[in-house]
Amino acid sequence: MKSRFTFAVIIMLGTNTGNIGAVTLSGASITGTGAITLAGPGGSYDFRGGTVSAMLGGSVGLDKTTGGTVTLTGVNTYTGATTVSTGTLLINAPGSLDAASAVAVNGGTLGGTGTIHGSISLASGATLAPGATNSIGTLTANGGVTLVSGSTFAAQINTDPTPTADKVAVTGTLNLGGSTLTLGNLGTAPPAGGTKFTIASYTTLTGTFAGYADGATVSDGTNHYTLDYNDAATPNTITLTAVASGTPYEIWAGANGLTVGVNDGMGDDPDGDGLTNLREFAFGTDPLANFAGPIAYEAGGNVTTPGQPVATNMGSNGVVDVRVVFGRRKDWEVAGLTYTVWFSVDMTEGSWVASSAPPTRLTGPASSGVIDAVSVAFPNYILTPKGPRKLRFAQVVVSQTP
């Protein structure tokens, strides 16, 4: 008969070894440099919470279940699959997982500072968080990493005293797969402009983070960074370069040659084209170039010329689908911008009606630049005291909340 052990206490294995049938870890610690080997078919490591420094062996797998955290620091040799269903599994240095153990993160979080020699794949809803809890570190992945849409890459940044960041170091292919990038900051001081943080290295990179093209601005909630998927100074790395401190508008104003206290107010119009700095900022146009032309874009691609909103019929085969097309900053939420499309029958005061429809993005999810092309459809008609009437005019009103 195989033996099953449920550990909820500290087990001091020392340098000894043990051959057992099954192990359930629930809030316990298994210490020492010895080895546990599960014997025969049907053996399993059912880990729910706790820490293990001993080596885990056998031709079996490990299942991370329940919402607790399991930390492995041993050089593990078991060859079955490692499956994370919920909670957190940390592989911390000097710990490692064998190359034969493929890691599937179906839910919960995989992280740590150790080495995973097998492949890593994350399902929608799962999180890859290199580094230790509340401290910076590097997770080494020697078998490739695959994320998908709906999964999350979570990195911590520490801006002081020595700027550094969590990192996943991948030998093989890192497939970002449209996953979500989230950043947290353990520091308090803002990083100096130009400070660079490396969050990943790879042999081959495919895909991008959802909504972030190369060169996009990302935020940790306080500070802003320029995202580079293949840093020219350190090839095959994903880096974040801190931009000068200030609000997105202040950073934009400085980068576009506006002078503080002279012509950088949101209501100023230094180029005299009838467009305030706020509208130039919101639509991606040059505040010092007298240009009020329309936006131009490639469907599913990039904005080729930032410009003013236009109305266009996007229907085909005789179907009329008139839409207002305009540029919207990729960081519009961080910048505190609100874009509201108003429609009118005749442009008389009191006749304007705000659209409640959310904009539809027309450019690609990984489009270059800081502006997306989006559209809102013209409503068919509105009810007036004179009956239903066709809406014929539109305007895009931009407001900013600090």
| Residue 43: burial class (beta carbons within 10 Å; 0-12, 13-18, 19+) | buried
Report whether 111 contacts 130 (CB < 8 A).
yes
In contact, 256 and 288? CB cutoff 8 Å: yes
Q: Are residues 106 and 195 in the same domain?
A: yes
Q: Domain of 317: which CATH number?
A: 2.60.40
**Number of domains within the chain:** 2
Residue 257 placed within a domain: no
Query: Please, what is the Cα angle at 168 between 166 and 173, to 5 degrees?
Result: 155
Q: Is the dihedral of CA 374, 380, 383, 386 positive or negative?
A: positive
Distance from the Cα of residue 214 to its chain's centroid: 13
Main-chain dihedrals φ then ψ at residue 254, nearest 5 degrees? -65, -40
Residue 361: give the domain boundaries: 293-400
Classify residue 287: in a domain, yes or no.
no
Asked if 139 and 116 count as a contact pair (C-beta separation under 8 A), the reply is yes
Residue 244 DSSP symbol: P
Based on the domain organization, do 163 and 228 belong to the same domain? yes
Confidence of residue 329 (pLDDT cuts 50, 70, 90): very high
- Of the candidates 191, 106, 122, the one whose C-alpha atom is nearest the C-alpha of residue 157 is 191
Contact 376, 362 (CB under 8 A): no
Looking at 248, 283, 305, the residue that finishes a domain is: 248
At 154-198, the pLDDT tens digits run 999 998 878 999 999 999 999 999 999 999 999 888 888 889 999
> Are 295 and 323 spatial neighbours (Cβ–Cβ below 8 Å)?
no
- Are 34 and 10 contacting, i.e. CB atoms less than 8 angstroms apart? no
Residue 259 in domain:
no
Q: Would residue 150 count as lying in a domain?
A: yes
Residue 260 lies in a domain: no
Residue type, 272: G
Question: Which letter, b or e, does each residue of 284-305 get, where b requires 16 or more Cβ atoms within 10 Å of its Cβ?
Answer: bbebeeeeeeebebeeeebbee
Q: Tell whether the model's pLDDT for residue 2 goes beyond 50.
A: no
Residues 100 and 224 in one domain: yes
> For residue 317, how many other CB atoms are within 10 A of its CB?
4
Q: 55 with 176, same domain?
A: yes
Percent of the chain at pLDDT > 90 equals: 61
Residue 10 confidence (pLDDT) above 60 = no
Given a contact cutoff of 8 angstroms between Cβ atoms, the answer to whether 256 and 289 are in contact is no
User: Do 45 and 140 sit in the same domain of this protein?
Assistant: yes
One domain, residues 303 and 200: no
32-80: per-residue pLDDT in tens? 666 677 765 666 788 999 999 989 998 899 999 999 999 999 999 999 9
pTM listed for this prediction: 0.63
Same domain, 350 and 202: no
- Name the helix (H) or strand (E) containing 359: none
